[in-house]
Amino acid sequence: MTSDDAATDPRAAAAAVMNGLVGPGGPFAMEPADVLGAQIPVFAHRRKALHELLAESLENADRVYIATADERITFAEHARRVSSLAEQLRTRYGIEPGDRVAINGANTVEWITTFWATVSIGAIAVAFNAWWSPNETAYGLEHSAPKLLVVDAKRAAALPETDLPVLTFETDIPALAAANPDAPLPSAEVAEDDPAVIIYTSGTSGRPKGAVHSHRNLLAVNEYHRMNDALIAAFGDPRDPRDRAYLLVMPLFHIGSLHNLVVPRLATGSKIALHLGGFDVDRVMRLVEKERVTNWGAVPTMARRLLEHPDLSQYDASSLTAFSLASAPSTPEFHEKLRKGLPFAAGLANSYGLTETCTAVAVATPMDLAEKPDTLGRPIIGVQIEIRDGVGNAVGPGVEGEICVRSAYTMVGYWNDPEATAQTIREDRWLHTGDLGMLDEQGRVSLASRRSDLIIRGGENVYPAEIEGALIEHPDVAEALVLGVPDEDLGQTVAAVVVPREGHQVDESGLRAYLQERLAYFKVPTHWRFQAEPLPRNATGKVKRAEVKA
């Protein structure tokens, strides 16, 4: 490639800049390394343990790390709180490397403090879904076997019976975080592939699975974000990356918030604007205005509510220059509505990822979306993508198949579930997503169908098998099928088709109450159909879902 090529072709220019960053000798150069038995590209100049980021964060001591509507916490103050809490976790509660600390609560500063204190001493932060029912929480406690449970007051009031020590965000964590103000920075001897986090993802087979993410995984995500900052600077953005402010509004038990905001922003010295409580357009926009938010990664449901707001012009959102969608599929038509309706969505970006991949698998830039509106973009640095047919062979551009990915970002496996791990991560650590899609001639990925039966309600994954399993346990239910139905606000909502046992009667209110005791509220169907006829099945006994849907 000549300099003239780079000057006239934007893609050539981008490739030249990228090669300077990630090519041999570049600050984000990649090299092959043995990762759990497979040769996978890793960042050559990488950190090896998460506690290193905490120590480095003191380089930005007086800058603000976390800002809420009512509180601003500097990097130095955050490090003091984490150091004190880590000391207390070790000495008072006996937390050692490899022990699990379960965190179950809505977004708070204390959630973040607890996370950093846990992983910095080599323990494993277990992020429970804060919307779980008591039954689901009981399963999570049994499955992950934590040594300590940290909750907010709302979850504390609904806890299943447990012998574990229980700490609350409201009283215990602030007290412990102030108990040893002169405590040294925490650290621990850990291997790169040692577990750091377990995040639960809805279970395709009826139970949530705990995706295990290692120090390597999270630190690779960190380097990816640092590389993005360097890439933006190389293209002429004069702003210091530390002057950016990132809105955190999705739950902290999601990779979008924890792995892709909380972790890299500690390393880059940027500010997190942390929204507390449920999503409310006016409160969120006030925070955007107050903290001069520059970057916002939203789920489509949030974006729809922004479009429906009667008057966003009352808020100064001029600082917001990067707006992207993630966590749920969205259509090109919806993208166009956003560009026309939201001034800050003019440069809209889109992405594709899974809990199991820790960060995006592919990202579509505004240029990509202009050329191919339905694309999810190209693989990010370090990600390999193959589209495979039914027998596992890679297929060429334009041919539909299963999306398979491999990278240093990919989870270690599922906690205490070797069978599910073996089904998902196969030979040479290729992760089989279960999603169908294809690559185009430019290497961009598009999605045909996502895990076939998966329902994505407002950014939350809902697997029909889990709800069907709960319904079948009801003594009056013979058969049940759960489907997603389109919804203007949430993207999809949950619908159930129920066949009562012969001679028995069921109704919507009774089944809703029954499920509310067992499942998170967002999994409880809002649409119901009752029928006497058995569900249609094929020769192998499987329900013909497409027939029922029709």
- Choose which CATH entry (1.10.630.10, 3.30.70.2190, 3.40.50.300, 3.30.300.30) describes domain 455-549: 3.30.300.30
Q: For the chain, 550 residues long, give each residue's pLDDT as a single digit of tens.
A: 455 555 557 667 777 888 889 989 999 999 999 999 999 999 999 999 999 999 999 999 999 999 999 999 999 999 999 999 999 999 999 999 999 999 999 999 999 999 999 999 999 999 999 999 999 999 999 999 999 999 999 999 999 889 999 999 999 999 999 999 999 999 999 999 999 999 998 655 568 899 999 999 999 999 999 999 999 999 888 899 999 999 999 999 999 999 999 999 999 999 999 999 999 999 999 999 999 999 999 888 888 889 989 999 999 999 999 999 877 667 788 889 899 999 999 888 889 999 999 999 999 989 899 999 889 999 999 999 999 998 999 999 999 899 999 999 999 999 999 999 999 999 999 999 988 889 999 999 988 765 657 788 888 888 787 888 788 889 999 889 999 998 988 989 999 999 998 899 999 999 999 999 989 999 999 999 999 998 887 544 557 777 887 6
As a whole number of angstroms, the distance between CA 216 and CA 36 comes to 11
- Structure pTM? 0.86
- Secondary structure element (H or E) that encloses residue 351, with its range: strand 350-353
Sign of CA dihedral 274, 278, 282, 285: positive
Would you say 248 and 265 are in contact if contact means Cβ atoms under 8 Å apart?
no
Would you say 23 and 230 are in contact if contact means Cβ atoms under 8 Å apart?
no
As a whole number of angstroms, the distance between CA 425 and CA 217 comes to 15
Length of the chain in residues, anyone?
A: 550
DSSP label of 427: G
Closest CA to 420 of 428, 436, 431, 410: 431
For the chain, the domains span: 455-549
As a whole number of angstroms, the distance between CA 131 and CA 105 comes to 8
As a whole number of angstroms, the distance between CA 118 and CA 126 comes to 10
Dihedral Cα 187, 252, 276, 271, nearest 10 deg: 60
Would you say 263 and 65 are in contact if contact means Cβ atoms under 8 Å apart?
no
As a whole number of angstroms, the distance between CA 182 and CA 202 comes to 41
